[in-house]
């Protein structure tokens, strides 16, 4: 067998594998970044709940979801307040990665509670 032609072929295969792995990893990082972005917004809204109504908090989270291409609505976001004591925000949503041979769907659920002097 002629070994001279194998160098460029091996290099091409390795480059294609690296590009594929990079593509997949990048997509996983994007989904994780969406999660962190939404979670930070929810934490911020819970922390400053004393200055916003439940509807304002809900709309702010929905808007942040739109910024990262997530469709969040009433089924995904729940805002509950104990007047004067605490606020609890629950968020549950799916986010997907579309790969050439498979669709990966991740389901994120988190709950943020904040106790502080809130308006009654």
pLDDT along the chain (120 residues), means of 10: 68 92 93 96 90 92 94 93 87 91 92 74
The residue range of the domain holding 87 is: 6-115
Q: Is residue 1 part of a domain?
A: no
Residue 82 has a pLDDT of 84
Rounded (10°) CA dihedral 89, 39, 105, 97: 150
Dist CA 89 CA 42 (whole Å): 7
Copy the structure tokens of residue 51: 């200055």
Residue 55 has a pLDDT of 93
* pTM of this structure: 0.80
Residue 18 has a pLDDT of 95
Crossing angle of helices 54-67 and 6-47, rounded to 10°: 170
Q: Is residue 120 part of a domain?
A: no
Residue 4 has a pLDDT of 60
63: left (phi over 0), alpha (psi -120 to 50) or beta: alpha
Q: How many domains does the chain have?
A: 1
Residue 17 has a pLDDT of 94
Dist CA 57 CA 13 (whole Å): 50
């Amino acid at each position: 067998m002629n070994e001279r032609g194998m160098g460029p072929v091996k290099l091409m295969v390795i480059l294609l594998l690296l590009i594929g792995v990079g593509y997949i990893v990048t997509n996983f990082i994007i989904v994780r970044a969406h999660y962190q972005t939404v979670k930070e917004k929810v934490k911020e809204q819970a922390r400053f709940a004393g200055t916003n109504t439940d509807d304002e908090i809900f709309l702010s989270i929905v808007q942040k979801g739109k910024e990262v291409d997530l469709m969040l609505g009433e089924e995904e976001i729940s805002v509950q307040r104990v007047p004067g004591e605490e606020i609890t925000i629950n968020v549950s949503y799916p986010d997907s990665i579309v790969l050439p041979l498979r669709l990966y769907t991740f389901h994120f659920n988190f709950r943020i509670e904040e106790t502080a002097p809130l308006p009654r």
